[in-house]
Amino acid sequence: MTSPGDSARAPAGGGAGETSLPAPAALSPEAERDQLRAAGIELLEFPRIRQMLAGKTRFFLAGERALQLQPSSDPAEVTRLQEETAQAVKMLDVAGDIGLAGSRDPRPLLRRAALDGVLSGQELLSIAYLMESIWLARRAVESLRGSVPALEAIAVRVPDLRDLKTRMLVALDERGGVLDGATPRLGPLREKAATSYQRLVRLLERVSGDPKVRVETLFASSTPAFSATGTRALKISRQSWSSSTRS
């Protein structure tokens, strides 16, 4: 027999068939550094700083980039970012607003177009105006002529889409309506449709003004087909219609 004191002195997990939990794996130096870095970011309320910065932006991509910012411990990257910021402040002081505020995010529209979806005239106009705004922003940076080289290196990557923008604006009016000259066939087709419509209107005017045309009002009570809905219809004598159209 063993006394209660003996059992209390027995080593934990020393009994037959008992297994102890494995010790947690030691973190690598890189993982430990990342863990400490993440804790430091939270301690400094950096996510809140990002939110505040994003709230000051006026261009949809700028807001996204602000929310993705991360502190850097790389001296070269820190120097580059500080230089870009200093040049951006200088550019705003010299050139002022470069015209990107309020632009609509075109990516949902472009995804729809890529799937052969249809875009309205207003949606096409918003894309054309965005292309124009981006090009003007590039020109504003380039106009400073070497005083903001870091920003110029970014601006040269902006593609020149002026030809596409011009073709879109030539095909649309200021409300997004498609103009007759949008395609070679659209204008003639619209002209034919307008001519046919005018002929039909004149024919209906002749028919409605001819006293030979007999119009009978049919009520639901007298027509089984309409008794369920109580709908009434106008019945034009086929003979009168034929005679009036021949005259």
From first to last of its 247 residues, the chain has per-residue pLDDT tens of 455 555 445 455 545 555 666 666 677 877 877 788 788 888 888 889 999 999 988 888 889 999 998 888 899 999 999 999 999 999 988 888 787 776 789 999 999 999 999 999 999 999 999 999 899 999 999 998 889 999 999 999 999 999 999 999 989 988 888 888 878 888 888 888 888 888 888 888 777 766 555 444 334 444 444 444 444 444 444 444 455 445 5
Output the pLDDT for position 190.
Answer: 83
- The answer to whether 67 touches 54, Cβ cutoff 8 Å, is yes
Identity (one letter) of the amino acid at 199? R
- The answer to whether 157 touches 168, Cβ cutoff 8 Å, is no
Paired tokens of 10: 């027995």
The Cα 88–Cα 157 span in angstroms is 17
Output the pLDDT for position 79.
Answer: 94
Output the pLDDT for position 210.
Answer: 62
- Name the CA radius of gyration of the chain, rounded: 38
The Cα 189–Cα 184 span in angstroms is 10
Counted residue by residue, the chain has a size of 247
Output the pLDDT for position 114.
Answer: 94
Residue 166, CA distances (Å) to 101, 142, 170 in order: 21, 22, 6
Taking residue 224's Cβ as centre, other Cβ atoms within 10 Å add up to: 8
Output the pLDDT for position 165.
Answer: 92
Handedness of CA 154, 155, 160, 166 (dihedral sign): positive
